Amino acid sequence: MRLKRSAYFVIAFLVFIVVAIFSVSAGAVEMPLRKILDVFTGKGDDPSKTIILTLRLPRAIEAAVVGMGLSVVGAFFQGLLRNPMADPYVLGISSGAALGATIAIVLGFGIFGLNAMAFITSLITVFFVYSISKIGARISMTTMLLAGIAVSAFMSAVISLMMLLNRSELSRIIFWTMGGFNLTSWEDVMFSVPVIAIGSFVLYTFSRDVNAILTGEEVAEHLGVNTELVKKVVLALGSLVTATAVSVGGVIGFVGLIVPHISRLIVGPDNRVLVPFSAIAGATFLLFADVVARVILKPVEVPIGIITAAFGGPFFLYLLIKNRRKGEGM
């Protein structure tokens, strides 16, 4: 059992390395492995250096870290809400961010203002949903889910209206909402990677508590878990990680939903194993999706959200059918 688990980790990590190399190598200009090695050992020519160091590398790092963060948060939210449909966007983060981005685009903000706006509105939205769900000292997870859906629906309506009224910006808004890393710079990486990485790690230290909560909130409290504190910390950190991810990558759907599920089918429900595995799997998956988004209609870039759904959906269905007998559980 233990050996089998570590074998899965080794395989997942090797796949990640391969995809990472592929991601730096593929694109409008092919970069063979030897050229990549040359650049990293300081021998490469200038065009190669530019392509790899200022275009591909930040982009690859960002895609991997965003994929990791969304998957970790998805695993935690599914456990905390005890709902297999939960994903990082369940509290309205995505619609909050999309609304902020839409407003920024309509007002003609630059890329930095756009990201900042998306970040701020997504956190405001989460805070609003959270305060509605607070009953006395306790947070009702069911109310939270429903409030998230209601707030998302309302915001989507506002976004649609703004799109109708600002048709000239329609394609920019749609492109941003479907996500992508084509504009990622080192500045984005410097800001987002520490937040997502540290946030994910601190979340990981709550794995055991969320395991207990998965078997019931009351049960967990009787096992010595301060459930209200755990809920607050996980919701706050999860929201911070998600808002950061969305502000740099846009609303990339499906990653935070299916990567934890696929990982659960492979390594089981124990969050202490599931979370690190989801982290590697999510990073790999989004790196892969980013490569596909770049090359599938070369030289046109496809929004990455289309790729994650188009590849993730059928793959997930395949796993569900294959594991139909045990696939229903968390």
Partner 1 sequence: MNILKVDRLRFSYGEVEVLKGIDLSIERNMVLGIIGANGSGKTTFLKNISGYLTPVSGTVSVLGKNIRDYSIKERARYIGYVPQDGVYDFEFTCYDIVMMGRMPYIKRFQSETKQDRDIVKECMKATNTWHFKERSIRHLSGGERQRVYIARALAQRPKILLMDEPVSHLDIRYQIEILSLVRDLASEGLLVIVVLHDINLASEFCDEILIMKEGQMVACGSPAKVLTRDNIMSAFSVDARIIESPVSKKPYVIPYLSIR
Point out which residues bind partner 1 (CB under 8 A).
1, 205, 208, 211-212, 214-216, 218-219, 221-226, 264, 268-270, 326, 328-330
d(CA 37, CA 248): 28
CB-nearer residue toward partner 1: 113 or 268: 268
Say which residues have a Cβ less than 8 Å from residue 107's Cβ, sequence separation at least 6: none
Coil vs helix vs strand at 50: helix
CB-nearer residue toward partner 1: 43 or 138: 138
At closest approach, how far in Å is the CB of 119 from partner 1? Answer: 29
Backbone φ and ψ for 323, nearest 5 degrees, come out as -105, 30
Task: Single out the residue of 235, 262, 247, 33 nearest to residue 139, CA to CA.
Answer: 235
At closest approach, how far in Å is the CB of 229 from partner 1? Answer: 9
At closest approach, how far in Å is the CB of 218 from partner 1? Answer: 6
CB-nearer residue toward partner 1: 190 or 219: 219
CA-CA distances (angstroms) from residue 229 to 82, 210, 223, 239?
Answer: 17, 11, 14, 15
d(CA 94, CA 89): 5
Pairing relationship of beta strands 134-135 and 138-139 according to DSSP bridges: antiparallel
User: Is 109 in contact with 121 (CB distance < 8 Å)?
Assistant: no
CB-nearer residue toward partner 1: 222 or 322: 222
CB-nearer residue toward partner 1: 169 or 228: 228
CB-nearer residue toward partner 1: 84 or 311: 84
At closest approach, how far in Å is the CB of 271 from partner 1? Answer: 11
At closest approach, how far in Å is the CB of 149 from partner 1? Answer: 21
Backbone φ and ψ for 300, nearest 5 degrees, come out as -80, 140
At closest approach, how far in Å is the CB of 327 from partner 1? Answer: 10
